[in-house]
Amino acid sequence: MMILGFLAILLAGQSRAQITAPGVVWDDTYSFDRYNLMKIDFYARNNELMRSFTYKTWYNGNQKELTATPAGLKVPKGNYLIYMDAPSKGADTETILDMAHEVAVQVLGSDLPEPMFNATKFKYPEGDDIKKLELVPANETRVIAGYNCTKYTYTYKSIFGSAWITKDISLPNDYGIFRAAKMAALHNTLPVEGFMMEMTSEDARGGKTIMTTISIDNSEKKTVTLPKGKMGTSINKVNYFTL
């Protein structure tokens, strides 16, 4: 996950009264009961595995419905959480998307005894900022994590790769690899219906990334309780798809 690029962070906990940016509101506790598990592998140009990250997206099974932004983008109606399990100590990140308040709460170093907490308002793209990732059918099929998938290819500037999409899952792509792959930061919509199960990307220098889904809709409860007086907030809104 990208660490939020706050331009003006007001660090909480430096005085007895917590300073909060206007409009930045969050809940004390967030609870979830489902998660999707994904893995991202980074390879050097000689096909040597350099590092791997594990991602989980947590959500609630009874809140899978979508809602539309003012510009017509479909996004989850319920809150969800993106968890990145990094290989190095202190680099784990949890990002809670509070859809009702349109606020992102990020826990930096969530594997540490004393992580940092930041919250900021987010905004949805509009107009020319709404972009589709152009996909070309490849006439190949494959089973990934038990689901039938169809292959597509894409090219974006010097980056090229493949995308495997299933129509057997009725979940928003915000809960999956398309969001974790960060391609949504550049192209926030897809031209075809379905849930992206795997994505690969390669560059002209031979570097390669493989992002794949391990399992879907796992049942397990998770609760995040945010400590009082330790939240840093920002007056700047960030793009929803860069979180």
> Using one digit for the tens of pLDDT, what is the confidence trace for 16-63?
345 677 779 999 999 999 999 999 999 988 888 988 989 999 999 998
Helices (H), 128-215: 177-180
pLDDT at 180 > cutoff 80: no
Q: Quick one: pLDDT at residue 215?
A: 97
Q: Quick one: pLDDT at residue 168?
A: 95
Q: Quick one: pLDDT at residue 14?
A: 37
Domain ranges, residue 68: 9-37+53-125+219-242
Predicted TM-score (pTM) of the model is 0.87
Judge whether 236 lies within some domain. Answer: yes
Q: Are residues 164 and 180 in the same domain?
A: yes
Judge whether 144 lies within some domain. Answer: yes
Q: Are residues 114 and 225 in the same domain?
A: yes
Q: Quick one: pLDDT at residue 13?
A: 38
* Mean of pLDDT over the chain: 87
Q: Quick one: pLDDT at residue 17?
A: 43
Q: Are residues 191 and 91 in the same domain?
A: no
Q: Are residues 15 and 120 in the same domain?
A: yes
| Among 190, 227, 224, CA closest to 97 | 224
Q: Are residues 90 and 106 in the same domain?
A: yes
Whether the CB-CB separation of 24 and 119 falls below 8 Å is answered with yes
Judge whether 47 lies within some domain. Answer: no
Ramachandran sector of residue 102 (left: φ over 0; alpha: ψ -120 to 50; beta: rest): left
pLDDT at 205 > cutoff 60: yes
Q: Work out how many domains the chain is built from and give that number.
A: 2
Question: Which of 3-7, 64-68, 125-129 bottoms out in mean pLDDT, i.e. has the lowest?
Answer: 3-7
Return d(Cα 17, Cα 209) in angstroms, integer. 45
**Residue 139 burial (CB < 10 Å; 0-12/13-18/19+)?**
exposed
Q: Are residues 20 and 113 in the same domain?
A: yes
3-state secondary structure (DSSP) of residue 203: coil
